[in-house]
Amino acid sequence: MKTIHLKIVTPDSILLDKEVESVSIPTVEGEITVLPMHIPILAGMKPGELRIKADKKEEYFSVMRGVAEVDGETITILTDAAEHADDIDEERADAAAKAAKELMAKKRSSEEGYTEAMAELERSLSRIKIIRKRRRGSKVRIDSN
């Protein structure tokens, strides 16, 4: 099967650098799936779930705002932060969402603080969503066995 090279890069590290069969990216306008030989595209990303398919397996990542660049040969994802779905700590994400909500209530008067808190809430909610979805997914698999 044809593959395309994918790089997920955050300010902290190169999280992923490998050949994949397809990538589904949460762009600002909705999810797009990139397959090998895709036309060049530069898209803004919003916080959400990034799915990759490689070696017949699916992997999930939580990604934040950023940019996805496809130049025909490689896909480069530059994002503020990304995590493998298995590495997300639900308790921590929950706590972060709660803290962000409180901060939003507190910062109602300052525009900058409010936007920042809202972005933080959006980020933690997207992580929670991914981990819940993943867990449901694995349960279904157990049931069907």
Partner 1 sequence: MASGKDIKRKIKSITSTRQITKAMELVATSKMKKAVDNAVKLRAYGYMSLNILSKLSKKHQNLHKFFQTREVENILLVLFTPDKGLCGGLNTNLYKKAIQTIEKLEKENPKAKIHYVASGKKGADFLHRTGKDVEFVYPAYTNNPTFTDIFPVSKEALKGFEEGKYDKVVVVFSDFVSTLVQKPVAKTLLPFSLDVFEEMLEELGSKFSEVVKPTEKEIDYKLEPSPKYIIDNIVPQLTEMQLYQAVLETTASEHSSRMVAMQNATGAADDLLEDLILTYNQARQASITAEIAEISAGSAVIN
Phi, psi of 110 (to 5 degrees): -100, 125
**Residue 37 binds to partner 1 (criterion: CB under 8 A):** no
Least spacing, CB of residue 107 vs partner 1, in Å? 15
Based on CB atoms, which residue is closest to partner 1, 41 or 54?
41
**Residue 28 binds to partner 1 (criterion: CB under 8 A):** yes
**In Å, how far are 27, 28, 89, 137, 142 from 46, measured between CA atoms?**
6, 5, 21, 23, 32
Window of 8-16, 81-89, 124-132, 135-143 that interacts with partner 1 by CB under 8 A: 8-16
Strand (E) positions, 38-131? 41-45, 48-54, 57-63, 66-70, 74-79, 82-84
**Residue 35 binds to partner 1 (criterion: CB under 8 A):** no
Contact map string, positions 65 to 104, toward partner 1, x by CB under 8 A: --x-x-xx---x-x--------------------------
Q: From CA 120, how far away is CA 25, in angstroms rounded?
A: 20
**Residue 9 binds to partner 1 (criterion: CB under 8 A):** yes
